Structure 1
Amino acid sequence: MINQDTIVALATPSGAGAIAVIRLSGKDAITIADSCFRSVKNQKSLTNQKTHTIHLGHIVDGKRTIDEVLVSVFKNPNSYTGEDVVEVSCHGSNYIQQEIIQLFLRKGCRMATAGEFTLRAFLNGKLDLSQAEAVADLISSDNEASHQIAMQQMRGGFSSEIAKLREELLNFASLIELELDFAEEDVEFADRTQFKELIERIRFVLKRLIDSFAVGNVIKNGIPVAIVGEPNVGKSTLLNALLNEERAIVSEIAGTTRDTIEDEISIGGIGFRFIDTAGIRETKDVVESIGIKKTFEKIEQAQVVVFIADSLNFKEDQFIHSFKIEIEKIKNKYPLKPLLIVANKVDKLSEANIESIKTEIPQIHFLSAKKGIGVDELKDKLLSFVNTGALRNNDTIVTNSRHYDSLSKAYEEIDKVKHGLDTGLSGDLLAIDIRQALFHFGEITGEITTDDLLGNIFANFCIGK
């Protein structure tokens, strides 16, 4: 699977910048870099330098100097990939970056594929597979919560928990297998009482990890929130207030928003993706009708629905009656989606009006999107829909759908083992289910892999990592 050649890639984002970092890894990384490097004060060779040292000099192509650089040397096995690694920090000109990379290619390097540095780290035992996947999650994290989870996983919090369970199960599996060798003598090496206790503990941990995926997936990908209601109730104004910028066009003309507008912010470290939708009403306008159709599509996709109305309309008894009917329709159609009922333009109501509306609709939240009244309280309500207790307690949270799938399959096999123990199933049949559970545990940390699996995982990495 792993090539032994030396690879090179830009490790920083492409494009012009103050500094760029070019990374080499492989058995000839230091030799190739040394052939193009001239130190500033003396003619020292990079091959003779200690690991984890930095050297000032120039990258040269024959007699031509390309740039003044800092070269970092990391010798195997004490490097990110477990191989010899060199990182060249040069000036961030596109021209300089390409000239240095092309020079290294001519000297014998090969361009790295997506995720190949981390793939080598995994294959050389520097990271297990779940830690390697956390590297990609860390790079893509765009809020505090997703960053915290990725850091915990990259440090081995998740994989160490799985590895410990796998080791204990493997020890019992070995004893069960040993019993099969002495089947004719009818002996038990594995204490069934202790084994039952272990199985119960594994079931408990697996169930907790599987259940955490619902929260973890939301934290990783953000929570889509659809803002819906009739035209001119302040949906776009609320979106602008939540984002604290003029993201959506606001006007007194009904039907101004004809398509969905989306943007994301972080609230309490959790990403929320707000979707401003076209106002729901009867219309003959073809374009507006398409926008209203998309509104219902976005409600289907959203995990939270904010149903907003104009406070002034609540002065009419008929409107309150019809509004309650609309609330029930949404609840019946989307029973699992949290629904936030919002009355906008509260600044135009008296205290008596507010109390009267609360009597009719106790769960309603009042705000003025235009003046910012009640917007922070709305954010707090949205945050309350996310169970972040696990984050505060530093518990392991599963965010990867591949891990979720393997955990679910392992749980099914452990359930079979439990049933076998309860019904006195023979050791040879127990061993089959135990082996399958161990297989699914191994899929998570990488003890068991295929080239296709690794290819799919690392293809999603950026080049240079």
Structure 2
Amino acid sequence: MLNNDAIVALATPSGAGAIAIIRISGKEAITIGNSVFKSIKNKNLLTQKTHTLHLGHIIDGSKTLDEVLVSIFKGPNSYTGENTIEISCHGSTYIQQQIIQLLLRNGCRMADPGEFTLRAFLNGKLDLSQAEAVADLISSDNEASHQIAMQQMRGGFSNEIAKLREELLNFASLIELELDFAEEDVEFADRTQFHELLNRIEFVLKRLIDSFAVGNVIKNGIPVAIVGEPNVGKSTLLNALLNEERAIVSEIAGTTRDTIEDELTIGGIGFRFIDTAGIRETLDVVESIGIKKTFEKIEQAQVVLYLFDSLKFKVQSSEYIIEIEKIKNQFPLKPLVVVINKLDLLSELEIYTIQKELETLNIKLIFLSAKEKIGVDELKNQLLSFVNTGALRNNETIVTNTRHYDSLLKALDEVSKVKFGLETNLSSDLMALDIREALYHFGMITGQVTNDELLGNIFANFCIGK
């Protein structure tokens, strides 16, 4: 699968800007770059040292396309492990296209999505999980997801998996050796040490698998549904959380006919707020569709904010408690936060009374004023408390990739089989089969075991130029 033909792509975002970077990689990358570059000091790029910069012009025959800065990275000391040059030109889309077309006419071809990183993997510059972390780093949009991607790209996850795989591989070799001397009935692998190793591997795998619950929400954001009757202040709350007029606020019931979504980062964690249509009985066909979507959004959300108007709650508390119980029973696994809005209109005694009425429901209760932005920070802290970020603070490995999660589950299943076989004196040849399967799934994570289809699926999701 490894090609070393010269590939070219724009490495910076498409569109006009101050500077654009065009990347070329491959055996002939420097030769092709040299054929279209004229140094202001008449330098030959082929004779220049690696990791050097050169000022000059891109020339198409007698026509000068742009004044540029060319960076040289000679393999294997480059991102891809191949000869690579990067042309920093002015950010005009016309200039970008003219230079890329010139390079295509001179022996380059357009890079496929993620092909530069694919070549880095195939040339041993990084393993598969590190390559996937490159895409995660590019798409990270908050502190937590950035931190996890950086840790994985530096090899934190890879090193942990590689160490487990190496230890298991050593014992697997001894088990396989026993099969060669089956007639002598000897044991090369110390069963006690092997059992201790399996316990340790099982413990680490379970910790990594459990971390996916946190890692997945950090990477993709936590969907939060804001629900309640019309005109309780859902749109006002959304605007207060986002600190902008994102949703239309009106005294007319049913103004929000559809769901409105927006994102906010709280404490380095991304939250995706969904302002839904008000829940009420209505004959309006369009509004009814919106209410149906509300329940669909609750189903998709991981946290539910049930918002109430404080003045209405005072006089209809028994009815509302029944509604809260319905939502709680319908979605028992979702954290439910009951938010009493228009706090500024309540006395201390009224607040105390509402607290006593709701304390038996075992739900989180927050009083706030969305309009006056009182208590909004308390709500943000409550939302943040639903995310276990202790692993981030302790710099532990967190799994965010679904493919890794699947391989870890399969590896744990095989390790459990090996452990059961060891405890029940299963024959070495049968145990060896389970050990091989466990090693296979470890290898699938880091790319020690792979195939073209897997690589195609992974790198097809990358942007072109990376």
Is TM-score (shorter-chain normalized) higher than 0.5? Answer: yes
Query: 2: CA distance between counterparts of 1:338 and 1:47?
Result: 62
Q: 5 Å matches for 1:13-162?
A: 13-40=13-40, 42-162=41-161
SS at match of 1:441: helix
The one-letter amino acid of 1:76's match is G
Query: 2: CA distance between counterparts of 1:24 and 1:346?
Result: 61
Q: Which of 335, 355, 360 is 1:358 aligned to?
A: 355
Structure 2 gaps, min length 5: none
Structure 1 residue 199 displacement after superposition = 0.2
Query: 1: CA distance between counterparts of 2:259 and 2:73?
Result: 50
Q: 5 Å matches for 1:340-419?
A: 340-362=337-359, 363-419=364-420
Structure 1 gaps, min length 5: none
Residue in 2 that maps onto 1:313: 312
Query: 2: CA distance between counterparts of 1:197 and 1:290?
Result: 58
Partner deviation per Cα, 1:9-44 (whole Å, 9 max, x = no partner): 00000000000000000000000001111111x211
Query: 2: CA distance between counterparts of 1:282 and 1:410?
Result: 51
**Aligned sequence identity (%):** 79
SS at match of 2:396: coil
Matched, 1:7 2:7: yes
Query: 1: CA distance between counterparts of 2:67 and 2:449?
Result: 45
Residue in 2 that maps onto 1:446: 447
Query: 2: CA distance between counterparts of 1:290 and 1:178?
Result: 67
Query: 2: CA distance between counterparts of 1:39 and 1:254?
Result: 69
Query: 1: CA distance between counterparts of 2:307 and 2:238?
Result: 11
Structure 1 residue 259 displacement after superposition = 0.3
SS at match of 2:328: helix
Structure 1 residue 351 displacement after superposition = 1.4
Structure 1 residue 314 displacement after superposition = 2.4
Residue in 2 that maps onto 1:199: 198
Query: 1: CA distance between counterparts of 2:423 and 2:286?
Result: 64
Query: 2: CA distance between counterparts of 1:197 and 1:241?
Result: 54
Query: 1: CA distance between counterparts of 2:456 and 2:328?
Result: 43
Query: 1: CA distance between counterparts of 2:317 and 2:384?
Result: 28
SS at match of 2:197: helix
SS at match of 2:208: helix
Query: 2: CA distance between counterparts of 1:355 and 1:416?
Result: 56
Matched, 1:294 2:323: no
Structure 1 residue 361 displacement after superposition = 1.7
Q: Which of 332, 336, 339 is 2:333 aligned to?
A: 336
Query: 1: CA distance between counterparts of 2:44 and 2:100?
Result: 20
Segment drifting more, 103-112 vs 349-358: 349-358
The one-letter amino acid of 1:332's match is N
Query: 2: CA distance between counterparts of 1:314 and 1:334?
Result: 22
Structure 1 residue 315 displacement after superposition = 2.3
Partner deviation per Cα, 1:349-377 (whole Å, 9 max, x = no partner): 11121111111123421000001000000
Would you say how many aligned residue pairs link Structure 1 and Structure 2? 462
Query: 2: CA distance between counterparts of 1:422 and 1:327?
Result: 50
Query: 1: CA distance between counterparts of 2:458 and 2:401?
Result: 11
Query: 2: CA distance between counterparts of 1:132 and 1:314?
Result: 53
Residue in 2 that maps onto 1:462: 463
Residue in 1 that maps onto 2:174: 175
The one-letter amino acid of 1:201's match is R
Structure 1 residue 3 displacement after superposition = 1.6
Structure 1 residue 294 displacement after superposition = 0.4
Residue in 1 that maps onto 2:427: 426
The CA RMSD measured in Å over matched residues stands at 0.6
TM-score by length of 1: 0.99
The one-letter amino acid of 1:36's match is V
SS at match of 2:392: helix
Partner deviation per Cα, 1:92-125 (whole Å, 9 max, x = no partner): 0000000000000000000000000000000000
Residue in 2 that maps onto 1:272: 271
Q: Which runs of 4+ in 1 moved over 3 A?
A: none
Structure 1 residue 90 displacement after superposition = 0.3
SS at match of 2:124: coil
Matched, 1:164 2:175: no
Query: 2: CA distance between counterparts of 1:288 and 1:451?
Result: 50
The one-letter amino acid of 2:8's match is V
SS at match of 1:364: strand
Partner deviation per Cα, 1:44-102 (whole Å, 9 max, x = no partner): 10111110001111111111110000100000000000000000000000000000000
Matched, 1:190 2:165: no
